[in-house]
Amino acid sequence: MSGQQSMALPATWQETAGGWFGVVMLMLAAVYYWIVTLLADPTLVIRDYDKCRHKAFGAMWLAKGKAMSEEMPGDTFKLLGTVKGTVLDCGPGSGEMTKRFNPEQINAIYGAEPALDMHTELTANAEKAGFGGGKYKALACGVEPESLIPALAREGLLTNERPETGVFDEIVCVRVLCGVPKQEETVEGLYRLLKPGGRLLISEHVVNPFPHGGSVVGRAMQIVLMFVGWKFLMAGCSLNRDTMGALERAAKPDGGWKSKNVRYVNGWATVPFIVGTLTKKG
């Protein structure tokens, strides 16, 4: 990775303990909102598991998402301010990141969000951020091809012989690729939707890179949290994904990306991030 940040352990034990505390508290919050969702509709998890998990996660995100989005790792906010053209916003949730975009640089933006309970707040936040008049369109779909492609077709965005090729100038993935059911297939689909010369912006938490840097403690915590139910509670979110590897493989048929400017942030942590941009060959 270009400009890779050092992944040494943090300077203080307070930083390590604070990271653990935040992750554990988030997991406890997820437990609470799962209980609330099940009490409201006890059979929903049997009738429609996907709807149930999105409803529980959506309720938690509406309560906690704003606070969790006030700070983001590395240059995330700076990069969001450079997004331009026709844009796909992957998994925007309640739209807490929309205020980080510059609406004057964006022609149209499509937010693929499967949690319908968040759409009202997503649209409201987009309008407050300057995307009124339908400039920000919330799509009721995920970013996996079988969900996203039909939604884009309904919007009239897929018109050529290979309808999944070259639709967006830029694609934004902020805390979303950790939770898609089929990451490899999803990343490949997003790559195809990117126009030649287009840019993919990522701010994604990934597997701790230990023993190739990173931290044995951070990696151990990931294993423990996954074992005790993190993925179930967090709407499919995984702590152990090699997202950078999936991105590299997606571009391999074209000989790789034209350029990569991606680095680790907090590589020591239980939730380390990769942040940066990848540009498709023109």
pLDDT tens for the 282 residues of the chain, in order: 554 444 445 547 777 777 888 899 999 999 999 999 999 999 999 999 989 998 999 899 989 989 999 999 999 999 999 999 999 999 999 999 999 999 999 999 999 999 899 999 999 999 999 999 999 999 999 999 999 999 999 999 987 655 556 899 999 999 999 999 999 999 999 999 999 999 999 999 999 999 988 888 889 999 999 999 999 999 899 999 999 999 999 999 999 999 999 999 998 889 999 999 999 998
pTM of the model: 0.91
- What CATH number was assigned to the domain covering residues 13-279? 3.40.50.150
Q: Quick check: 204 and 177 in contact, CB under 8 A?
A: yes
DSSP states of 78-133: HHHTT--EEEEEES-TT-TTGGGS-GGGEEEEEEE---GGGHHHHHHHHHHTT-TT
* CA–CA separation, 70 and 271 (whole Å): 17
